[in-house]
Amino acid sequence: MATFWTYDYACSFVEEWTFLLGSRWTRIKSLYIVTRIMPFFLLVINLYQNFTPTGDFNILGFIDVAFGILSVTCSESFFILRTYALWNNNRYVLAAMLTAFFATFVASIVTSLSNDVIAPYATGVIPGMTGCFLNGRLSIPYILLFQFELGLISLTLIRAIQSWRTADSPLYAILVKHNIFYYACGLFFSGANVVTSFTVHYQYHAMFQDFQFIILAILALRMHLQLWQINEHVHGSDAPVSSLEFIPPSNVSSANDMA
């Protein structure tokens, strides 16, 4: 996963630095930077755990989970804002999404911290290496995340069906396409994590768990980069460019700056 993350960053290096240097500083730009950094800390903790023969699984496990929750929170924040934009900045939709996301966030923290981490057996492959195990309550955050993502994709599809005849903006089209693709990936990985949390040992389940965190961050960052590039092309190089600006379906000639 560290190699995969490094390769993705190398592939998008030029586009990313063009965005960072060419866009003005906003809260969304700050969120982008945090989203980029979080998986790095997550991978460092995982690599440290993998190469440590014995260690405090409770402390390292909780730190690993904390960085994972923060990474998912940053990634999901982009798509909460995107769904909010699709609904023409509808405050009721935003309130419903934030309430559901806050409940998922709190439940994830509570259930993750309440898990008992133990090391009941040796792996048998490398002398001195021991395996760690978490109980089935770890599946609860992924069940809640699955439901939350299902709600977001439903809102996206409803809005797309309502506006498909009147929306004639390339930004709107790419917004819908990327949102649906992202939620489909999120639903798949959340479902896989729910199944693996009940059927395999924690060290195997953790592989799918961390892979989901990495993939969601990559999808969120790449989607934001492409939307910014399209927005810059639409408005021209001489126009002020927002890091989270798009053309709403109800008014193709204007742009909303949500930053």
What pLDDT, in 10s, does the model give residues 87-119?
A: 888 899 999 999 999 988 888 787 766 654 444
Judge whether residue 76 has pLDDT over 80: yes
Full set of structural domains in the chain with CATH: 2-247 (1.20.1070)
Query: Six-digit token pair at 255?
Result: 């742009």
Write the CB contacts of 218 (distance below 8 Å, at least 6 apart in sequence): 5, 8
Residue of higher predicted confidence among 142 and 99: 99
**Which residues make beta-bridge pairs with 245?**
257
Average pLDDT on 218-234 reads: 81
Residues constituting the chain: 259
Q: What is the DSSP string of 145-206?
A: HHHHHHHHHHHHHHHHHHHTTT---HHHHHHHHHHHHHHHHHHHHHHHHHHHHHHS-HHHHH
pTM over 0.85? The answer is no
Average model confidence (pLDDT) for the chain?
A: 74
Average pLDDT on 162-174 reads: 62
For residues 131 and 121, the answer to whether their CB atoms sit within 8 Å is: yes
| 112-121 pLDDT tens trace | 666 544 444 4
Judge whether residue 35 has pLDDT over 90: yes
Nearest to 136 by CA among 118, 170, 158, 111: 111
- Predicted pLDDT at 144: 85
Distances 199 to 53, 203, 204, 254 between C-alpha atoms, Å: 25, 12, 10, 51
Nearest-10 crossing angle of helices 202-235, 13-22? 50
| Pairing, β 118-122 against β 245-246 | unpaired
Give φ, ψ of 121 to 5 degrees: -155, 160
For residues 187 and 154, the answer to whether their CB atoms sit within 8 Å is: no
For residues 182 and 80, the answer to whether their CB atoms sit within 8 Å is: no
